[in-house]
Amino acid sequence: MINFTKGLIVSCQAPVDSPLHHPMVIAAMAEAAVNQGAVGVRIDTPAHISAVRERVKVPIIGLWKQVIPGSDVYITPQYHHAVAVAEAGADIIAIDSTLRSRPGDETFGEIIARIHGDLGKLVMADVDTMEAAIAAAEAGADMIGTTLFGYTGETKHLTPPGWDLLSQMVANLQVPSICEGGVATPEMARKALDLGAAAVVVGTAITGIDLLVQGYQRAIGF
């Protein structure tokens, strides 16, 4: 098991239409984060993961966002996506572990088992509710994140961070709980760790130049 020592994991991602959406740019972001003490990075798409692997030695949480018609599941939705993430150099594979139907005939339990057995990688389960977190733990997930709280049909009326969900996970699960989603300030990151998170993932607030500039532009009237 990888021990993140209650540290900061930086999610280095960019919209596909952004100039930042380039393997070398993402790799530079990741290296900069690690140079300043990040204990891990979270990276989307195999090409970006591979570029980051060449630049950092800390654990990489890898995923592959894929929009598949007829399914709301998009974070590493199928096993073959997990294979590509593993081959690119990820240490941990993040998968959507909500209770929503997956594309194809696979269940997240089957995908977790194959990631462990065939790929020899750890699994981070991205969930939205406590029910999903319990199911993910029972299916064998190595760590569980609040990643999708506020981003599913069941939770879209709620605003991340999912503090209550995190507290429930810490109190009731035997696997590490990771706080991810909506962590916008250093103080919020500290709160996540104080609530018992094994680590906290911060993305947009550190690396989301596109969204941050959009927010400033809206605020000043452009």
- Mean pLDDT for each 10-residue chunk of the chain (222 residues)? 86 96 98 98 99 98 96 95 99 97 89 97 98 97 98 93 98 97 98 98 97 96 78
Closest by Cα among 28, 33, 36 to 10: 33
Residues 6+ apart with CB under 8 A from 115: 79, 82, 86, 93, 95, 121, 122, 123
Q: Which CATH architecture has domain 7-219?
A: Alpha-Beta Barrel (3.20)
The angle subtended at Cα 26 by Cα 21 and Cα 29, nearest 5°, is 135
Per-residue model confidence (pLDDT) at position 3: 76
pLDDT for position 5? 82
Those residues whose C-beta lies under 8 Å from the C-beta of residue 178, and which sit 6 or more positions away, are: 4, 9, 124, 143, 144, 145, 146, 197, 198, 199, 200, 201
Distance (Å, whole) CA 180 – CA 147 = 5
Structure tokens given for 222: 């452009």
pTM of the model: 0.96
So what's the pLDDT on residue 1?
66
Spatial CA neighbour of 166 closest among 201, 140, 141, 139: 201
